[in-house]
Structure 1
Amino acid sequence: MAQTPGLEHPHDADRLLQLVDTVLGELRPGARLHAGLDSQLDRDLGLDSLARVELLARVEREFAVQLPSDVLGNARTPRDVLAAMAVAGYTPSPTAHDDARLAVPAHVAGLPDEARGLVDVLDWHVRRHPERTHVTFYRQPDATETLSYAQLAEAARGIAGVLSAAGVQPGACVALMLPSGPDFFRCFFGILMAGAVPVPMYPPSRPAQLEDHLNRQAGILRNCEARVLITFDTVRPLARMLIGLSPSLRTVLTLADLDGPSMTPTPTADDALALIQYTSGSTGDPKGVMLSHRNLLANIRAWGRATGLGSTDVAVSWLPLYHDMGLIGAWLGSLYHGCPLVLMSPLDFLARPERWLWAIHRHRGTVTAAPNFAFELCVKRLADKTLDGLDLSSWRLAANGAEPVNADTLDRFAQTFARYGLRPEALAPVYGLAEATVGLCVPPPGRGVRVDRVASEAMRSRGLAEPVAEGADALRFVACGPPLPEHRVRVVDSAGRALPERRVGRLEFSGPSATRGYYRNPAASARLFDGDWLVTGDYAYLADGEVYITGREKDLIIRGGRNFYPYDLEQLVGELDGVRKGCVVVFGVVDTQAVDERLVVVAETREADAGRRAALEQRIAGAAVEQIGIPPDVVVLAPPHAVLKTSSGKLRRAAVREAYLNGTLGTATRPTWVQVARLQLASAAGRLAGTIRRVRELGYGAWVWAVFWLLAPLAALAIFTLPSLGARWRVTHWLARAFQWLSACPMTVSGLEHLPAGPVLFVANHASYADGLVLGAALPMPVAFVAKGEFKHNRVMRPLFERMGAHFVARFDSRQGVEDVKTMGAIARQAPPLLFFAEGTFGSSPGLRGFRLGAFQIATQQGLPVVPVAIAGSRRILPSGSWRPRRGPLSITLGAPIEPQGEGWHDMLRLRDAVRRAILVNCGEPDAGDG
């Protein structure tokens, strides 16, 4: 872009620094702080993300330029801003947005109601309208990229092939660290089509918090044991450090690595994991919410019914895709209902919130979702602007959730944008949580905002939501609506007893969207459940069947016999001169010498003068008395960045409380190079440990093969020289047991007492080439393996198999297969008994496949009982596609013989199903059906 005329470096540098000083002066009146070109915006000047948004907005107005959106995340100093100004273009006039509006999307008949998983949903759309636009992504304000259903499916199949070739096993976790955009969608479905589980992670954003960020992501990787991370080139050097910080991570792939041949999607059951959504937490105890395909589809369908979502709707979102509201609420909900999704980067919204509104205008957007701060930012930045031509009349549902909903914000938003056609009844406060997939409560569409005014004293002292009239001393709470269809909520006291309406207690819920727990975190999972109900961690009350959230359970403060939450006081203190807005935390600390908690207020400030700091403390104490009637016990004036926040900007109150208690609150942020050096050192140590671990694994594999080639000649010698099958079997049985013992794979065998004395058939599952050896070690008497016909043409294996009594059957020649079954039937009553691998083959995907009918036809025709044999663990010790043995436990379970009930077709099917059920119970793998 051309440089704006008149933008001369020395002159404009002075003007820019004056502008920065002005913003600093407004944030901290009286502070003696002046910016230099190389001052760090966050570390030196204390400008958080919202303050930088305000600064860049003023730069654009002052210099009549339009800065790229990525300046918000990339500019670290005023010099960086100056460099961006030098290549920026003119600010377009407001009328430049007033272009032709797009047509309403075409109606799609039906919904994928029979789909059992997300891949089925995508297939449903591809079969009906492959070229229909699914996503429109704004890469630049005037440049979009579209993605159709067919394009998404085609790209995902190729990515699935690459992941499968990289060793990703079905059911394994794959970490996904990508910014919002079509590449995220392609990779997400590529992971699903490979049968794996996506784990979204957010990319690093602030250099000042780099070390904390990567340590938190490493905690997630350690918990989910992801072996592969998909990321983008910009952060690949940082992402590679995670290999040393998380032992399981082996491979970091970028988009350029994901171009490969397509593969057929791996089938998955509806109760299989479709997503692990990690909530904000500590690095040592990450909580990954397990969501199955059934959970996701139940929530999406219930949300669609409650809000009337359909294919002619248009969703417009800037929410990050690593967050459940953006990932599930905006994207997957749009995918299911066939309504187009218009997406932009979160940075685009933060830099210019009007882009969100103009996208609603141009695409005739009907539904959106955003946290409360987004609506507040629109009011703050746009209330005094003239947005000529903007038309918001198509907007029918503006869901406000993911953080406490402020009634004043909603009122201001409705008043500000009414002149552009926004109907106030479109605003909808909603409630949800990751443990409920995403959404749990929503008001009726078009109802508008309902605010409940309750007596403050009754609420704080008795937990009673007693309605009061206008003008009285009141607290205000916003109705979040009733629970979604097929979901229930209740409010209980500390003893778990249900409370009547308008009594505050712990909110619990149940329904098909409810998670089954936290991934590999049984302690946290146990705390999540109260019988059949899930604990939300929120306090609330019910009124007329609707939910009113009063606050987080962990944020509740008990002081002077009264209960209150920190939110209003934090907001009030944040408005005081000298305090950084949005950087205040209020919490309680248990005092062992007193009944009540001590009330602590932590407020960030740049104020250095002792007298002014003392005065600020007094003003904070006065604000507390005004708001809640009692002064704080402790006021901490902390430096910038002492108040910790999540990636989405939420206050981390528990982390701030912990830092206060252990004396690390406000510890100076390490320079970026120091953080990188510390991470490199920690990663190097982890890489060294990983190298040692891999050497041990390779050494173990070499040892196992050495033992095998030591014992194999002895087994071959016995097979070819011993005269009787019984003798051959006894020798090979003990050699197999010796091999199992020397391989350090513990084996348990149960059910040998079920072996009948007379003729019988054995049917086993098949998961690995190791199954023959495992059964040879487990079974004390000879069996005749029924092997695939390909071995008849192997000059080495055929004589060995024949000397051990094996028989061969054709798998792919139907006519020969029928003849083979007849031959097997003729000898089925002879010793040794036949043993069939009824699945016929095996693959890398865990799961018990469908059973072939040959063994069961023989059993019904000959009247032979069938002994189910369940092998567990063999797939892990020698996976398909790999000849490197792994150490692991083995289990062989022989079930009670199952007698055929007749000779007919249906008798044969019943026998097959009964045997398969018995094996499924003990094989330790999911039901893969006919997969």
Structure 2
Amino acid sequence: MTAATAIPSHPDDAGRRFAGFLDALPARTAWAAVARMAETHPHAAGLRVIERGGGEAVLTRADLATLATAGARALAAAGIVAGDRVVLALPASRLFLAFYLGAGASGVLPVVVAPPPVPVPAAARQHLADIARRADARSIIAEAATTAALAADGDGALADAPGARLAAADALLSAGLKAPMPVLGHDPHGIAHLQQTSGSTGSPKLAVVHHDRLAANLAQIGAAICATPADVSGDVLVSWLPLSHDMGLVGLNYALHWGIGMVLADTAEFLRNPMNWPGWMSRHRGTLSPAPNSAFQMCARLARLRPPRGLDLSGWRVALCGAEPVHARTLNGFAQAFGDHGFAPAALRPVYGLAEATLAVAIPPVGGCVVDRIDADRLAEGGRAVAAGDTVARHLDAVTLGPAVPGAGLRITGTDGRDLPDRQVGEIEIFSPAAVQGYWLDPAESARLYRPDGWLRTGDLGYLANGQLHVTGRAKDLLILGGRNFTPAQIEDVAEAAADAAVTPSVIAVGLTDETIGTEALHLLLDTRLGPEDARPVIAQAIRDALHEAFGLTGIGTHWIAAGLIPRTPSGKIQRFRCREIVAARLADRQQSTPARTPPTKTAPTNGRITG
């Protein structure tokens, strides 16, 4: 397999900026960064950790080094050595930092997963077992209550992953207190961690992230959001994102590698009250913070319902929005809701990335939410993103996600692998020194990841306009309705706007083959939180009317579903293939429950709508 491992050869400004930031990066591994800062600035504040329950701990640089060595000793005392894999199912906490940093210092390969609730649901138990099997892990390290719940059906291990022993993190640390110190190192070419992919189109895979490729992406991010390497030092990163997600884990590494201040909050504290996020930004003078579209939407809605007091967001200079489809109305709404509190619209940076690129692929060089207004019919009929004038009846606003990060390249290819021109939709491919080599113990999928010339296939659809990326959806999720191509995001954006959705995603669009019409039929799963039961027929009709007006679509099936029943990946992304299974099952049940009837001699006109 050929992989992109070098800086693109053309000495353009972006390549030079990347090289300058990579040379300025203080360390190439997390442990090297922690050890260096502990030696040079032992008493300087390193991280403020806001743990589950709201308790806060301020860790100096020396404290971080102490935690790392304690974690390394605990792993060694448990017989876990360099090259072994461990699954870390811990919330953001000092325990997590000890084992994540300790693993990196001793050459152990961590796989970070979301800590399951207690009691542990069957789906979460199965996911843990699946990840442990895929990684061939030696141990699953979690909090004591979690390990006790997981061990209920096994002898110190999960029944479906007997090779991975369950271990309570605090007990491991205690057992390692008197253990000898293992040899610590920081091979910049070794493996940093195994990162779960999203799993939105199938079972998640484990991308192999090496230290040098992680360092390359951290340099790319720095070069994209800072004018000079010296500017990085002035940032304070605030993150509550799950550490099991690439955006959360790379964010932690960004702070550690660059030696900047960070507020690391457990995700549960954001979910308990999303307004904690702007509160942390204000209280700790945060300058940099990433989040998905849904988080910006939740906070904007809550701020409109109950305007906050005493916030000062004037220091927030970069608000990265990615990990899921980005909607312009969401970001504009956030800027309006918090504008009176000092938040500048120019801070917004809609971005694109994926685990296979370590994280960041495209980041706008300047802030603000910019959209490309395109002709909806031309996009559906020919895959061309033609700029829409004022006379175009149906249009879409595609959010501009910026050019490739410095040192990387972007191209759009057709189904034959050939480059496509500007404004033609095709598969997004990248060339980057941060691109991973492949997936753990999965040579077949690893081989499919790259083109022979070293460009990585993302599986995402989009187009370039003057070098700026616009993402339209996933290739596997493409909907072909009446001979026209649509992505779910196009349809969902219009539908959620028509329903005045307070949460997103709250509409999931899937296509099912309808043999009677010889093509796919559009079906929508509608989150019951869109409205009370008596209002749902009106909401569904408003959505159908909006989709007919925007795209000329008819015969749309609607199916209401409780939020907790929507299939999601552990990182919260929608699993569309399982949504299709739900719709197919509902249609089959409905067909079986409908008694056979003799067809009438006259057929009344029908609009083909299906509701449920």
Structure 1 length-normalised TM = 0.56
From 59, 78, 81, the counterpart of 1:147: 59
State the partner residue of 1:120.
32
From 204, 219, 238, the counterpart of 1:316: 238
From 519, 522, 529, the counterpart of 1:596: 519
Is 1:205 matched with 2:117?
A: yes
Q: Is contact 1:482–1:547 with CA below 8 Å preserved after alignment?
A: yes
From 161, 166, 169, the counterpart of 2:81: 169
- 1:297 CA displacement: 0.7
- 1:239 CA displacement: 3.0
Which letter does structure 2 place at the counterpart of 1:353?
P
**Deviations, residues 39-93 of structure 1 (Å, cap 9, x unaligned):** xxxxxxxxxxxxxxxxxxxxxxxxxxxxxxxxxxxxxxxxxxxxxxxxxxxxxxx
State the partner residue of 1:398.
319
From 290, 305, 313, the counterpart of 2:223: 305
State the partner residue of 2:487.
565
From 132, 135, 139, the counterpart of 2:44: 132
Shift in CA distance, 129/162, structure 1 to aligned 2, threshold 3 Å: same
State the partner residue of 2:144.
233
- 1:471 CA displacement: 6.9
Shift in CA distance, 398/640, structure 1 to aligned 2, threshold 3 Å: closer
**Deviations, residues 496-521 of structure 1 (Å, cap 9, x unaligned):** 11011111110000111111111112
Shift in CA distance, 495/563, structure 1 to aligned 2, threshold 3 Å: same
Shift in CA distance, 619/277, structure 1 to aligned 2, threshold 3 Å: same
Could you tell me how far apart the structure 2 residues matched to 1:519 and 1:365 are? 36
State the partner residue of 1:420.
341
Query: Residue 280 of structure 1: SS of its match in structure 2?
Result: coil
Map 1:6-155 to 2 at 5 A.
113=25, 115-139=27-51, 143-155=55-67
- 1:271 CA displacement: 2.8
Q: Is contact 1:313–1:366 with CA below 8 Å preserved after alignment?
A: yes
State the partner residue of 1:273.
191
Could you tell me how far apart the structure 1 residues matched to 2:539 and 2:33 are? 57
From 76, 79, 100, the counterpart of 1:188: 100
**Deviations, residues 858-897 of structure 1 (Å, cap 9, x unaligned):** xxxxxxxxxxxxxxxxxxxxxxxxxxxxxxxxxxxxxxxx
- 1:111 CA displacement: 7.8
Q: Is contact 2:78–2:172 with CA below 8 Å preserved after alignment?
A: no
Shift in CA distance, 583/425, structure 1 to aligned 2, threshold 3 Å: closer
Q: Is contact 1:407–1:451 with CA below 8 Å preserved after alignment?
A: yes
- 1:218 CA displacement: 0.8
Could you tell me how far apart the structure 1 residues matched to 2:362 and 2:47 are? 26
**Deviations, residues 341-384 of structure 1 (Å, cap 9, x unaligned):** 01222222233233222222222211110001111111100124
Query: Residue 399 of structure 1: SS of its match in structure 2?
Result: strand
Q: Is contact 1:195–1:265 with CA below 8 Å preserved after alignment?
A: no
Could you tell me how far apart the structure 1 residues matched to 2:314 and 2:391 are? 33
Query: Residue 146 of structure 1: SS of its match in structure 2?
Result: strand
- 1:143 CA displacement: 4.8
Shift in CA distance, 422/665, structure 1 to aligned 2, threshold 3 Å: farther
Could you tell me how far apart the structure 2 residues matched to 1:243 and 1:126 are? 38
Q: Is contact 1:571–1:582 with CA below 8 Å preserved after alignment?
A: no
Which letter does structure 1 place at the counterpart of 2:328?
A
Query: Residue 216 of structure 2: SS of its match in structure 1?
Result: helix
- 1:116 CA displacement: 4.2
State the partner residue of 1:104.
none
Shift in CA distance, 666/355, structure 1 to aligned 2, threshold 3 Å: farther
From 471, 480, 489, the counterpart of 2:410: 489
Could you tell me how far apart the structure 1 residues matched to 2:503 and 2:315 are? 37
Query: Residue 226 of structure 1: SS of its match in structure 2?
Result: coil
Sequence identity, in percent?
35
Map 1:588-737 to 2 at 5 A.
588-590=511-513, 596-605=519-528, 621-632=544-555, 634-638=557-561, 641-661=564-584
Could you tell me how far apart the structure 2 residues matched to 1:300 and 1:389 are? 33
From 546, 549, 573, the counterpart of 2:471: 549
User: Which of the pair has more CA radius of gyration?
Assistant: 1
Query: Residue 247 of structure 1: SS of its match in structure 2?
Result: strand
Shift in CA distance, 613/579, structure 1 to aligned 2, threshold 3 Å: farther
State the partner residue of 1:247.
162
RMSD: 3.2
Is 1:437 matched with 2:348?
A: no
Query: Residue 602 of structure 1: SS of its match in structure 2?
Result: strand
Query: Residue 509 of structure 1: SS of its match in structure 2?
Result: strand
Is 1:467 matched with 2:378?
A: no
Which letter does structure 1 place at the counterpart of 2:146?
V
Q: Is contact 1:157–1:262 with CA below 8 Å preserved after alignment?
A: no
Map 1:208-219 to 2 at 5 A.
210-219=121-130
Shift in CA distance, 269/394, structure 1 to aligned 2, threshold 3 Å: same
**Deviations, residues 169-223 of structure 1 (Å, cap 9, x unaligned):** 211111101011222111101112221101001112386x811121112111111
State the partner residue of 1:383.
304
Map 1:317-336 to 2 at 5 A.
317-328=239-250, 330-336=251-257
Could you tell me how far apart the structure 1 residues matched to 2:529 and 2:46 are? 48
Shift in CA distance, 314/466, structure 1 to aligned 2, threshold 3 Å: same
Map 1:532-931 to 2 at 5 A.
532-570=454-492, 573=495, 576=499, 582-590=505-513, 596-605=519-528, 621-632=544-555, 634-638=557-561, 641-661=564-584
Q: Is contact 2:327–2:493 with CA below 8 Å preserved after alignment?
A: no
Could you tell me how far apart the structure 2 residues matched to 1:578 and 1:666 are? 29
**Deviations, residues 406-461 of structure 1 (Å, cap 9, x unaligned):** 1011111112211111111111101110110011111114x322211111111111
Query: Residue 294 of structure 1: SS of its match in structure 2?
Result: helix
Which letter does structure 1 place at the counterpart of 2:84?
A
- 1:112 CA displacement: 6.6
Shift in CA distance, 624/632, structure 1 to aligned 2, threshold 3 Å: farther
Could you tell me how far apart the structure 2 residues matched to 1:254 and 1:490 are? 45
Shift in CA distance, 226/269, structure 1 to aligned 2, threshold 3 Å: same
- 1:528 CA displacement: 1.7
From 440, 444, 449, the counterpart of 1:523: 444
Could you tell me how far apart the structure 1 residues matched to 2:470 and 2:45 are? 38
**Deviations, residues 571-591 of structure 1 (Å, cap 9, x unaligned):** 555565999974432112345
Could you tell me how far apart the structure 1 residues matched to 2:536 and 2:22 are? 64
Greater strand content: 2
- 1:275 CA displacement: 0.6
From 206, 215, 233, the counterpart of 1:288: 206
**Deviations, residues 596-626 of structure 1 (Å, cap 9, x unaligned):** 323222335599x999988876665444423
Could you tell me how far apart the structure 2 residues matched to 1:537 and 1:493 are? 12
Higher relative contact order (CA 8 A, sep 6+): 2
Q: Is contact 2:87–2:137 with CA below 8 Å preserved after alignment?
A: yes
- 1:279 CA displacement: 2.0
Shift in CA distance, 323/449, structure 1 to aligned 2, threshold 3 Å: same
Is 1:453 matched with 2:373?
A: yes
Shift in CA distance, 188/666, structure 1 to aligned 2, threshold 3 Å: farther
Could you tell me how far apart the structure 2 residues matched to 1:161 and 1:385 are? 49
Q: Is contact 2:27–2:257 with CA below 8 Å preserved after alignment?
A: no
Which letter does structure 2 place at the counterpart of 1:224?
A
Shift in CA distance, 285/142, structure 1 to aligned 2, threshold 3 Å: closer
Gaps of 5+ in 2: 1-20, 591-612
Could you tell me how far apart the structure 2 residues matched to 1:276 and 1:453 are? 39
Could you tell me how far apart the structure 2 residues matched to 1:206 and 1:542 are? 46
**Deviations, residues 802-856 of structure 1 (Å, cap 9, x unaligned):** xxxxxxxxxxxxxxxxxxxxxxxxxxxxxxxxxxxxxxxxxxxxxxxxxxxxxxx
Could you tell me how far apart the structure 1 residues matched to 2:353 and 2:535 are? 43
Q: Is contact 1:639–1:666 with CA below 8 Å preserved after alignment?
A: no
State the partner residue of 1:890.
none
Which letter does structure 2 place at the counterpart of 1:233?
A
Could you tell me how far apart the structure 1 residues matched to 2:240 and 2:420 are? 39
Count residues in correspondence.
Answer: 555
Q: Is contact 1:295–1:515 with CA below 8 Å preserved after alignment?
A: yes
Q: Is contact 1:555–1:565 with CA below 8 Å preserved after alignment?
A: yes
Could you tell me how far apart the structure 2 residues matched to 1:666 and 1:202 are? 34
